[in-house]
Structure 1
């Protein structure tokens, strides 16, 4: 009687949190079923779920009033333990998405997703958390090493694929990194290598450790080549990377991720100039283009951890081979997988340009520029898209629009003064073609002001003395 009166007094003041209304409604609809299976159990399940289990702070007795007698009977019947088990078992069905404790694999996957979306800061955090969980795993350290290195390469526009379809990157200026970042890269590489070596001392046939060591050497090779221009040291590390991954494939042929590095090296060596290739052959270094492309295709289709890298390399090499249709298929797959990756979208436009589909390329570049304006690409380097767009417009004789695009690239806020200079000099050249000499002089002087010691500055001075003319 006392309970009944208390319930009546609170009826009008019951306030149910909005987020729980759908749960309450759903549970009451299920009550008849639970009650029929376990007599007197419905109220207990509701009480456990809405009260203790969810810590709901409202007068639940008012909701339970029609079932109080059932509840008391339930306590007397000895079904409490059974009902508690039921409540604990079914609770996950409506407990909501409780915070999950991140695992090494989930952190790694999340980090890779951020990495391939060029969201480097987020990738750093996820990879560091993975290291904290497994501080002795060289794979975890390699992930952070790769993210730090490639974030710097991207910041300096060193991931522009047009550099690697020619030999121009061999004579390009060294990338200047902050000394602290250079030290971080060195420390991470040393740590990853040390962890791999430690495992290999215990078990020389540890394929995971062999693979990790090969990855570390490959990343160090990239750093030495693009940042330090230490070509021979880079070559030694590249060969070491290939050797480790070939050993992995001997020990475990199904380890498809190891085919990525081996495939890249086979293609690159086979693509060297004849004289260099002969010297490499004398040193025991051989390559095979077909084998390289086949390995990359297999690794890309396997969907392993190196599959994205394999497809990036495959798309680039197919482009160099003028197999544009095949390359487009690979790159479009990358774009679908990682729609926020600016470089993949830009590469799709580059392929249209190189395949001779210039109107389609113009549309693709404009779409990339517009997507940058709408912030669809994290940390997009829109100046790269503007520069490529300007080149296609110029080739089609759309000079006025070409100048606008060149100027957008030349006036961009970027650390890549080399690209800005090239854009400003090109804008001056097109202005000369339109006999707009004053505009051309202005562009040349702006280019020289960025860096008076560069080859582009020398070219600008030449055109200041004599207007540019097409040959």
Structure 2
């Protein structure tokens, strides 16, 4: 469930981050998209070079800072919980938060900044809790929730807001009935099916964020045991980001859960054969799966 949540959070913020909002210019935006493409292909060495270049070019644009911070974040959760990698993320994310906060102060209605800050504080809470730094975890979680509440008030027609609301409604809908009184007391309501429907609407939009909605839906449907629907979305993602070892691994897992064993073994072999120096744990897990299937 933890990896489900963090993946949904990343998709949410990525949806906003790819929208041009600064005065950095077309060249900056083109380089940013190139870096994001490398990031989603899990070619993080090339992505880091581009993000560092963009940080030097425009120190007031938080988008490159955000994605540069996401490299150790994904490496921490998908590649082993290294304290050194956790510290690297906390330092990079603080820089992204500082710059994003300044931008939001200048324009309180900036959707992208709300999305970034909501996600960044949520990520910091997850990492800090995993590292048993509970004070930072609690403070970050509470601050992130404040931005999430602000997110829910955004324009319903904005695909970025649709993704945020869909995730939030789904997550609230997963709260056990015996604990619903607590969410009701806080004025928080949500329904899993409503959340999925909102995300499906975002997935069919003409916006760039449709890919991010598909990413989220593939994870949620897998969790719900709705494997045919999960496969529809993960297949699209694997086709677009064929070098993304995380997407390919999840594609293999969904095939396995669908009792399509031979196809799953072939998909796990694809994971093993991918050239990736950051997520060897997924390759080792795939080898184990192949032996056991």
Task: Give the structure-2-normalised TM-score.
Answer: 0.78
Q: 1:128 aligns with which of 52, 62, 73?
A: 52
Q: How far 1:335 sits from its partner (Å)?
A: 0.8
Identify the residue that residue 177 of structure 1 maps to in structure 2: 83
Q: 1:198 aligns with which of 81, 86, 102?
A: 102
Matches within 5 A, 1:422-437: none
Task: Describe the shift of the 1:366–1:201 C-alpha distance in structure 2 as closer, same or farther (beyond 3 A).
Answer: closer
Counterpart check, 1:239 vs 2:163: no
Task: Describe the shift of the 1:246–1:140 C-alpha distance in structure 2 as closer, same or farther (beyond 3 A).
Answer: farther
Task: Describe the shift of the 1:337–1:195 C-alpha distance in structure 2 as closer, same or farther (beyond 3 A).
Answer: same
User: Is the CA contact 1:146–1:219 (under 8 Å) kept in the aligned structure 2?
Assistant: no
Identify the residue that residue 376 of structure 1 maps to in structure 2: 274
Q: How far 1:377 sits from its partner (Å)?
A: 4.3
Q: 2:64 aligns with which of 136, 140, 153?
A: 140
Identify the residue that residue 321 of structure 1 maps to in structure 2: 224
Deviations 1:255-275 (A, max 9, x none): 312332332221111112222
Q: How far, CA to CA, are the matches of 1:295 and 1:229 in structure 2?
A: 35
Identify the residue that residue 177 of structure 2 maps to in structure 1: 274
Deviations 1:108-128 (A, max 9, x none): 111111111111111111112
Which structure has more relative contact order (CA 8 Å, sep 6+)? It is 2
Identify the residue that residue 212 of structure 1 maps to in structure 2: 116
User: Is the CA contact 1:117–1:378 (under 8 Å) kept in the aligned structure 2?
Assistant: no
**SS of residue matched to 1:286:** coil
Q: How far, CA to CA, are the matches of 2:184 and 2:157 in structure 1?
A: 28
Matches within 5 A, 1:107-118: 107-118=31-42
Q: How far, CA to CA, are the matches of 1:303 and 1:336 in structure 2?
A: 18
User: Is the CA contact 2:86–2:127 (under 8 Å) kept in the aligned structure 1?
Assistant: no
Q: How far, CA to CA, are the matches of 2:49 and 2:184 in structure 1?
A: 43
**SS of residue matched to 1:103:** helix
User: Is the CA contact 2:166–2:198 (under 8 Å) kept in the aligned structure 1?
Assistant: yes
Task: Describe the shift of the 1:349–1:208 C-alpha distance in structure 2 as closer, same or farther (beyond 3 A).
Answer: closer
Q: How far, CA to CA, are the matches of 2:48 and 2:204 in structure 1?
A: 27
Aligned length: 264
The gaps in structure 2 that reach 5 residues or longer are 1-25
The gaps in structure 1 that reach 5 residues or longer are 1-101, 157-174, 394-471
Identify the residue that residue 14 of structure 2 maps to in structure 1: none
User: Is the CA contact 2:172–2:188 (under 8 Å) kept in the aligned structure 1?
Assistant: yes
Q: How far 1:213 sits from its partner (Å)?
A: 2.3
Deviations 1:188-231 (A, max 9, x none): 22222222222333332233333332232233234234444746
